[in-house]
Structure 1
Amino acid sequence: MNLLIPLLALSSSVITPDMVTQLSELEKNDPHQALKVYKKSREDYLRSFSLEAVQYHRVALKAANDLTDWPTFLSILETLKQPELTPYTSKKTLHIINDIGVAYRLNNQFDDAIAHFKCAIDKTSNAHQTAALKANIAIVYRIQGQPSVGFRLLDSIEFKVLNTPIRAGINVVKGNLSLHLGETTAAIQSYQEAIKLFKEENKIRDSIRVEFNIMTAALLEKNLSLYQTYRTNAETKIKDFNIDNSDFLTFLDMVSHAISMRDTVELETSKTALLLNELAKNDDANESVRLLLKSLKLDNVISAEQQRKPIEPLLEAKLGAHWCEEMR
């Protein structure tokens, strides 16, 4: 019996650096397909113990996060806890804890999210990693209605030394904070810089999602020309990259029409109320919808019940305890 496990490990499929790269590139623009590929091959690699194996599972973890596929996310976490992977997960501990923090944030479990981001910060002195983690905490503060606190956190980041992917992400965070502080011009500039950087990294899907932020900012400025510039071919883009923003686009068009006609009646119908109920569940759209309705003096259209609350079933607390000693 003692010989069986080593033999199984030796006979298992080996994950190569090229496989990690291929799955990572797929995850950037098509997380649905990335998870399909991962799930199809997962059983073959469960007995593969290497740094490449950890990276392969982590790419799938990111895809599950992006799709809020919590059963898959939790299953991958259990895989990463295998004792045989410990020598390799120890080199990626910070990234795994950050992934868990992002999952909590996406599920609106904000205290759990901040606890995990802070745990990760305590494990690094790297400027890039610290910046990304601070940006994730700033996102939580923004969602909780404290954009000024988030901005102060970003001000402590050494921006010039950061690499392209992190600068892209932080520009999105800065744009969102600016938008919530009513600084739409600054927000648009940050978003445009993020789009440029995302395209440099071939993260086209992320760049398209940021275009929706610019469309929101343009409507807040009542700049219909800028709105139309980014509105062009939007249906095709979200279809090609599996972005669930068709309802959001419908709403933005309704706002554009209301601004053009100086008439908000269409936004106050029962049909629109049903649309808003759906958009309240969309992480990309939720805050933008609120800002736009407020700008049109239609705050009352969204009820208090649609404010962000933790999504049931809740993710179990302290998912990162395996890597965060203070949580045990």
Structure 2
Amino acid sequence: MIVFPTMLLSWGMALSTTASCNVPIELLKSQAFNQPQQAVQTYLSNQERFQRATCAEAALAYRYLLMAATRVQDWKLVEEVAQILQSGRLSSHVTGKELNVINNIGVAYRKVGQPEDALTHYRCALTYANSHDQRALIKINIAIVHRNADQPAIGFRLLQGIEEKYLPSIILAGLHVAKGNTALQLKRYDEAQRAYQQAREHYLAVGDKRNAQAVVANMLVVALAKNDTQAYDQLRALSILEVDMLTEQGGRFIQWLDTFRSYSSANNLNQSQRQQLQDIETIAADYIEFVMLLSARFSLNQAVARPVRNSAEQPQLSSALAKRWCKGM
């Protein structure tokens, strides 16, 4: 009977695949969305297993890890994961999913303050976009880069040109956050609040509790911008509903908002109060624009700007991290 060797071969392949895919993908997926620091720890605790893995599930796990590393701003790990996903052992499992990875690398560049690298990667990602959903996602991210570069008009046009019909909740959430931030920059406060509320609802719809909670901080900014302390107090509890999902940077920003709220009804501030509101060295770059917007009421922090990397400085992320997939990089 020659069937036996074939059965043994099939069984051997199954064993090999199982062994090479022994990675905690479901745990990593859940943590990447809601507890990114824990996702990084899960990876570090299982690093040997990850390094041996050669299956499609491992490639997917690394994609979740890339998202988590970006969220906790572990730039060294971002580079490591980007290189691993392009390595010979996993690259075949990324084929057809390049857009997702390139887009997430672009997000990392934006977060670290390298807008030109971000735009280069987003434009590359657009070449892989084959659907309305995919094109919308990339356009949202391009609009965010322009808004952060004090080019809100360009960002606004991009966002307004995106057809919302049939978009899934996860993309709609990002779209409404971007629209809310742009409206806030233009001081269209009611429009901003509606957009943030819609974003929160969409995040909850897809089970992304972390971002659903994080966007409440944006809503708190709107309440303070309108000097609506009642709305602020009602929303405040939602901002820390699940403390383990609150990032360190987010927590510091909310503390600053609480300080501002305590002085928001004052016509003038004494020196001590002014100093408290000017103590923003630990506020993450993503929140600085909100600090500036609110501080304008007391003519504070107006000289503060998003950190701009000097061209002579060593970038935190190497350029062209997606060069395997992007021609011309």
What is the TM-score of this pair, normalised by structure 1?
0.88
The answer to whether residue 277 in structure 2 is matched with residue 278 in structure 1 is no
Structure 2 equivalent of residue 15 of structure 1? 21
1:282: Cα distance to partner? 4.1
Q: How many residues were matched structurally?
A: 313
Provide the rounded CA distance (Å) in 1 between the counterparts of 2:97 and 2:298: 47
Contact 2:259 2:277 in 1 (8 A): no
Aligned with 2:132 (options 127, 132, 138): 127
Q: How has the CA–CA distance of structure 1 residues 259 and 11 changed in structure 2, closer, same or farther, with 3 Å as cutoff?
A: closer
Matched, 1:308 2:313: no
Structure 1 position 243 matched with structure 2 position 247: yes
Secondary structure at the counterpart of residue 53 of structure 2? coil
TM-score (structure 2 length as normaliser): 0.88
Cα drift, residue 79 of structure 1: 1.4
Aligned with 1:27 (options 32, 37, 43):
32
Query: Which runs of structure 2 are paired with 1:60-79 in the superposition (5 Å)?
Result: 60-79=65-84
Equivalent-residue separation in structure 2 for 1:150 and 1:143 (angstroms): 9
Cα displacement (A) at 1:132: 0.8
Q: Show the 5 A alignment for 1:283-294.
A: 283=286, 285-294=287-296
Unmatched runs of 5 consecutive residues or more in structure 1: 1-5
The 2-side partners of 1:164 and 1:307 are apart by: 30
- In 2 relative to 1, CA 319–267 (structure 1 residues): closer, same or farther, beyond 3 Å? farther
Q: CA deviation at 1:33?
A: 0.8
Q: For 2:81, give the aligned amino acid.
A: I
Distance 1:239 1:114 in 2: 34
CA contact (8 A) 2:220 2:232 kept: yes
Unpaired stretches in structure 2, ≥5 consecutive residues: 1-11
In the other structure, the counterpart of 2:261 is: 256
Tell me if structure 2 keeps the 8 A contact 1:31–1:64: yes
**Are the structure 2 counterparts of residues 188 and 271 from structure 1 closer, same or farther at C-alpha, using a change threshold of 3 Å?**
closer
Q: Deviations over 1:134-165 (max 9, x none)?
A: 10111111111111211100122121120011
Structure 2 matches for 1:1-328, cutoff 5 A? 10=16, 13-15=19-21, 19-232=24-237, 234=239, 236-237=240-241, 239-244=243-248, 245-265=250-270, 269-273=274-278, 275-279=279-283, 281-283=284-286, 285-294=287-296, 296-299=297-300, 301-304=301-304, 306-310=305-309, 313-327=315-329
SS at match of 2:268: coil
Does the C-alpha gap of structure 1 residues 254 and 312 become closer, same or farther in structure 2, counting only changes over 3 Å? farther
Percentage of identical aligned residues: 29
Deviations 1:231-266 (A, max 9, x none): 1264x4363214222321222122222222333336
Deviation for aligned residue 1:91: 1.8
1:160 match: secondary structure:
coil
Distance 1:314 1:246 in 2: 24
Change (3 A) 1:326 1:230: same
- Between the aligned partners of 1:61 and 1:45, the Cα distance in structure 2 is 14
Cα distance change, pair 312–216 in 1 and its aligned pair in 2 (3 A)? farther
1:238–1:246 Cα contact (<8 Å) kept: no
Q: Cα deviation per residue 1:26-65 (whole Å; 9 max; x = unaligned)? A: 2111001111112222321323222222111110110000
CA contact (8 A) 1:266 1:272 kept: no
Change (3 A) 1:312 1:263: farther
Question: Please, which moves more after superposition, 252-261 or 172-181?
Answer: 252-261
Please state how far the C-alpha of 1:19 moved relative to its aligned partner.
Answer: 4.2
Question: C-alpha displacement at 1:12, in angstroms?
Answer: 7.4
CA distance in 1, matches of 2:97, 2:243: 34
Q: Residues 97, 11 of structure 1: CA spacing in aligned structure 2 closer, same or farther, 3 A cutoff?
A: closer
* Counterpart residue identity of residue 119, structure 2: I
Q: Any conservation in 1 of the 2:285–2:306 contact (CA below 8 Å)?
A: no
Root-mean-square deviation over aligned CA pairs: 2.4
Q: Secondary structure at the match of 1:232?
A: helix
**One-letter code aligned to 2:320:** K
8 Å CA contact 1:12–1:47 kept in 2: the answer is no
